[in-house]
């Protein structure tokens, strides 16, 4: 049922949960990219509020041909009679969002495939607030593409700027960097940063400046468009070097904290001092505990349906409303415009903060994490264990199955929608939630969820359970269930 699958170039262009992505040279070609960039720019101009500049921020990551394609779409922006402003260097996607706000631009076009495999490339579109455009916007772009029309790219000299430096300067204004650094030194805690060869490379050292080598170590900093042969996604199976480095440091007598960023710097995960992988399912509850319990910041909590129940338990214990939305940060961002939000988090590693921009920013999240650890002088692992002691243990994992064709998806969706299973591994299904995909609730911090990817021909299966054995058992059941359909 599951095998590799490539789209034909004649297929219509469809946007996923955050942008348009596909295999370079198959889905993503220069001709198609110029068409999409033109349609996106036209839609940005059509919807732009009055009073903004006529600038469009152009950014790009460290992938193969990303700089060249960024330069090309600058010509498409000029063809729409707008002014492209391009980053001087590869840059994180959140830095482009920050630049949109700082330059009062009508939006940004970012050449990136984020966490997807090395052979992929894509385009993310940011609106005038810096956040990803919504489904209504991308549908309008798709309609423009189907309608056709001629808008010729215009060659010319594109103004460049130091997008990376401006973002880092903005982050420094939001945190007491010196206090965090002194706290790390006082704890004797070493921070090991894994950039996964992505566009966040070197940013943490730049944030802390001279003397940071005393407590910082950076790995996989160099540009490698193949990303070492794996997707630049902050999942435990791709972090062997980071986990080994943290364990080796602890064995040598120096407690360490590992931080990892995805390919375009909008997702984060961590490794605690014992070498345990800490996804957002553990980090978001910790952030809530710090931002409310220590700093007493205002706002509700937004979580995607695939987020841990632990997030809701911690937030509600601290008196905060919890709102659950579909997968995709654009749904969190939408809530951030409508209400006072403390933070919004998704299980895949993206976190946005009400005190920042309405978009994911892994560098900002990293600074919140370091602030949380140093504020009460407690290493990450101990902090997580404290939450578990209070709310119960929670373990999480996800597997991805590649679909053979769309018929497989249709059959499985029909079954889950009309006749979902009554039990999973001898556990009774208590509730079926269909906010996004199919989430089968088995108890508190115990559920299994099926959801189809918006950017790849994949079935994603998520599981949270009170023990690692239950997670493994439920995922094995789910895999077999899907294969047999």
Dihedral-angle region of residue 357 (phi above 0 means left; psi in -120 to 50 means alpha; beta otherwise): beta
Chain CA centroid to CA 53, Å: 28
CATH 3.40.120.10 location in the chain: 20-163, 175-391
**Are the C-beta atoms of residues 395 and 471 closer than 8 Å to each other?**
yes
**Can you name the residues that pair with 362 across neighbouring β-strands?**
none
Rounded-to-integer distance, Cα 470 and Cα 219, Å: 34
Alpha-carbon distance of 328 to 326, in angstroms, equals 6
| CATH tag, 175-391 | 3.40.120.10
Burial class (CB in 10 A: 0-12, 13-18, 19+), 350: buried
Listing DSSP states for 298-349 in one string gives: --EEEEETTS-HHHHHHHHHTT--EEEE-SSHHHHHHHHHHS-EEEEE-TTS
pLDDT tens, N- to C-terminus, the chain (485 residues): 333 333 444 578 989 878 999 999 999 999 999 999 999 999 999 999 999 999 999 999 999 999 999 999 999 999 999 999 999 999 999 999 999 999 999 999 999 999 999 999 999 999 999 999 999 999 999 999 999 877 889 999 999 999 999 999 999 999 999 999 999 999 999 999 999 999 999 999 999 999 999 999 999 999 999 999 999 999 999 999 999 999 999 899 999 999 999 999 999 999 999 999 999 999 999 999 999 999 999 999 999 999 999 999 999 999 999 999 998 888 999 999 989 999 999 988 899 999 999 999 999 999 999 999 999 999 999 999 999 999 999 999 999 998 777 778 888 899 999 999 999 988 999 999 999 999 999 999 999 999 987 656 789 999 999 999 999 999 999 999 998 87
Domain with CATH 3.30.310.50 in the chain: 395-483
When the candidates are 3.40.120.10, 1.10.510.10, 3.65.10.10, 3.40.190.170, the CATH number that belongs to 20-163 is 3.40.120.10
Q: How far apart, in Å, do the first and last CA atoms of the chain sit?
A: 8
Q: How far apart are CA 31 and CA 478, in angstroms?
A: 41
Query: Which of 264, 262, 260, 307 has its CA nearest to residue 288?
Result: 307
**For the whole model, what pTM was predicted?**
0.93
Sequence-separated (6 or more) residues with CB below 8 Å from residue 46:
none
d(CA 388, CA 408): 39
Pick the CATH number of 395-483 from 3.30.310.50, 3.20.20.140, 3.90.230.10, 3.90.1210.10: 3.30.310.50
Order of strands, sheet of 341-345, starting from the edge strand that comes earlier in the sequence: 322-325, 300-304, 341-345, 351-353
Contacts of 75 (CB under 8 A, 6+ apart): 34, 153, 154, 155, 156
Assign 449 to helix, strand or coil. Answer: strand
| Residue 119 contacts residue 36 (beta carbons within 8 Å) | no
Whole-number Å distance between alpha carbons of 89 and 203? 12
Burial of 265 (0-12, 13-18, 19+ CB in 10 A): buried
């Amino acid at each position: 049922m599951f095998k590799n699958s490539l789209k034909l170039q004649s297929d219509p262009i469809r946007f996923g949960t955050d942008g348009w992505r596909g295999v370079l040279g198959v889905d993503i070609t220069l001709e198609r990219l110029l068409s999409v960039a033109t349609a996106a720019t036209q839609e940005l101009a059509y919807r732009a509020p009055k009073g903004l500049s006529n600038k469009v921020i152009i950014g790009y990551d460290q992938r193969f041909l990303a700089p060249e394609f960024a330069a090309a779409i600058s010509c498409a922006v000029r063809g729409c009679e707008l002014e492209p402003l391009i980053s001087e260097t590869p840059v994180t996607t959140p830095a482009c969002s920050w630049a949109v706000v700082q330059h009062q631009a009508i939006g940004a076009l970012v050449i990136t495939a984020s966490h997807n495999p090395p052979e992929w490339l894509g385009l993310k579109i940011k609106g005038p607030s810096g956040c990803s455009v919504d489904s209504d916007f991308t549908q309008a772009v798709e309609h423009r593409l189907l309608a056709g029309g001629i808008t010729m790219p215009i060659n010319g000299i594109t103004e460049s700027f130091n997008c990376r430096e401006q973002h880092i300067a903005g982050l420094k204004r939001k945190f007491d960097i010196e206090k965090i650094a002194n706290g790390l030194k006082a704890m004797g805690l070493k921070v090991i940063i894994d950039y996964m060869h992505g566009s966040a490379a070197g940013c943490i050292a730049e944030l802390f400046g001279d003397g940071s080598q005393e407590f910082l170590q950076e790995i996989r900093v160099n540009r490698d468009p193949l990303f070492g042969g794996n997707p630049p996604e902050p999942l435990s199976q791709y972090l062997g070097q980071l986990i080994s480095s943290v364990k080796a440091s602890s064995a040598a007598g120096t407690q360490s904290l590992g931080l990892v960023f995805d390919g375009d710097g909008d997702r984060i995960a961590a490794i605690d001092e014992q070498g345990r992988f800490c996804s957002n399912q553990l980090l978001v509850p910790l952030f809530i505990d710090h931002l409310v319990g220590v700093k007493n910041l205002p706002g509700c909590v937004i979580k995607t349906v695939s987020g841990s129940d632990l997030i809701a338990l911690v937030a509600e214990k601290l008196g905060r409303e919890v709102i659950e939305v579909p997968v995709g940060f654009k749904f969190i961002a939408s809530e951030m415009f409508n209400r006072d939000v403390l933070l919004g988090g998704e299980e895949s590693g993206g976190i946005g903060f009400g005190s920042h921009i309405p978009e994911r920013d892994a560098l900002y999240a990293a600074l919140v994490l370091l602030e949380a650890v140093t504020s009460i002088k407690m290493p990450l692992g101990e902090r997580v264990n404290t939450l578990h002691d209070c709310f119960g243990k929670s373990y999480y994992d996800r597997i991805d199955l590649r679909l053979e064709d769309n018929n497989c998806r249709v059959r499985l969706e029909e079954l889950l929608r009309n006749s979902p299973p009554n039990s999973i591994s001898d556990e009774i299904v208590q509730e079926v939630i269909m906010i996004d995909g199919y989430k089968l609730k088995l108890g508190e911090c115990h559920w299994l969820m099926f959801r189809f990817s918006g950017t790849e021909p994949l079935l994603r299966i998520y599981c949270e359970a009170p023990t690692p054995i239950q997670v493994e058992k439920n995922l094995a059941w789910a895999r077999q269930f899907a294969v047999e359909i």
